Structure 1
Amino acid sequence: MTTAATGTLLSKTQVLDSFKDLPEHVSADALIEHILFIQSVMNGISQAERGQTTPHKEAMQEIRSWKK
């Protein structure tokens, strides 16, 4: 499930399961960063499944342009 404003929506189960990988004590900032990372990965997977990827050659050209 996606929306334009938030990208891929995460289920409560996905978020809670991902917390198992965190240390016993963690800051609120680290929790937010962790959730945003999980959402970014899920967005990428969703885009790939829809065929919204950048060919390797095009990606390399774009990266080279950053050096200029």
Structure 2
Amino acid sequence: MPAGKKQGRPRTWTRRQLIDGIRWRTRAGAPWRDVPERYGPWDRIYDLLRRWQRDGTWKLILEQL
């Protein structure tokens, strides 16, 4: 198998789109279900936010900034 190719189903939504959805929701203060579809499904956006909160990714990002 060529190096750099990941197995499995390709992502439908890019991580950038999901992060932009988190940013939109934070700025707007709207409910999760009101996040525009262009950012991806609201439950995927919320899941990314919570996973990164639990594993400390957001804290690491803020420390690096």
TM over 0.5: no
Question: Which one has a larger percent strand, Structure 1 or Structure 2?
Answer: 1
TM-score, normalization by structure 2: 0.30
Q: Greater Rg, structure 1 or structure 2?
A: 1
TM-score, normalization by structure 1: 0.29
Question: Which one has a larger percent helix, Structure 1 or Structure 2?
Answer: 2
Higher relative contact order (CA 8 A, sep 6+): 1
